[in-house]
Amino acid sequence: MTDSGGSCCSPSLGDVAPRTASASSARPTAAVPASRTSRHGIEQVAVPAGTFAMGDHHGDGHPDDGETPIHTVTLSAFDIDATSVTNADFATFVDATGYLSESERQGFSAVFHLAFAGADDDVLGTAGGAPWWYGVRGADWRHPDGPGSTIDGRDEHPVVQVSWDDAQAYCAWAGRSLPTEAQWERAARGGVEGQRYPWGDDIPARATGTHWPCNIFQGSFPGENTTEDGFLTTAPVRSYATNALGLWQMVGNVWEWCADWFDPHWYAASPRENPQGPAAGSGRVMRGGSYLCHDSYCNRYRNAARTSNTPDSASGNVGFRTVSR
């Protein structure tokens, strides 16, 4: 793995800000709807109270990601969404509240170059060091690949182009929470200790379509995706197989926001019981990898893998799932 940052994961808002405006001056204040107990209709999976060994058991992670030391964590029981929040779920929230996502208010967001749909002048710039990420005018959750795209026919795909702030707004309305990083990893592991992936330690023999265990990048990153798994970008949330708990696509497809601030040194100081993450930071944790993960560049589609982004940032490969409060 040669990637030491988030450039194949998702760029920050500042990386793809239009040349005519700084990200900090353009950022809106998110309006969070009042809490309620919910139209959140996603099937729930019960994760029992218990203890597990959190962190990288295989030496796969990049040191800057802080996947070690392995440390024992004990969690209370919680319920977690069986799938990522879908476009249909997020549309229900927006229809009920009139909420405008940060990308809609900013007027642009980050789109992977192979997925871009729009006119040349919709591209406002590219991310420094990662030119495959375009800053695209008119990209938002309704137009995830740019203004020439829609979510028609993608009701059951994960919502993307949502920031951490947007995910928090959804949770406030639905009476839910984002999972802590520890909750997310315990759920992804499905009660099986130390595995690299939700299904085991290895990628099965690589064929096509449903023979792939998850939605990641095939081909030569970033220029050619052969789509051997059937998808250039997102897959429907109930694609592939569940883990041992019945959770769909905990790795691959889209990165998922977690509640915690990110600190690469946190694991050495993390409390044993129900850790909530550091008290402060500049980025929020993201887990699970996405359709852009590739062994040659970014192998973060693993149970232990972690990265982060600023809470106001959004891109075409980041979504979320929620847990009970």
Q: pLDDT tens digits for 273-304?
A: 999 999 999 999 999 999 999 887 788 999 99
Q: pLDDT tens digits for 8-63?
A: 577 877 777 664 444 433 333 344 444 445 589 999 999 999 999 999 999 999 89
Candidates 212, 211, 89; CA nearest to 158 is 89
Average pLDDT (120-130) is 95
Q: Is 121 helix (H, G, I), strand (E, B) or coil?
A: helix
**What are the residues whose beta carbons fall under 8 Å from the beta carbon of 59, sequence distance 6 or more?**
none
Q: In whole angstroms, what is the distance from residue 182 CA to residue 280 CA? A: 17
**What DSSP element (H or E) covers 134?**
strand 130-137
Q: pLDDT tens digits for 136-145?
A: 999 999 999 9
Q: Which domains does the chain show, CATH number per domain?
A: 13-28+38-324 (3.90.1580.10)
Structure token pair of residue 114 = 């192979």
Candidates 74, 84, 82, 81; CA nearest to 48 is 74
264 cis-preceded (ω within 30 degrees of 0): no
* pLDDT for position 75: 98
Average pLDDT (254-273) is 98
Place of tokens 């800057």: 64
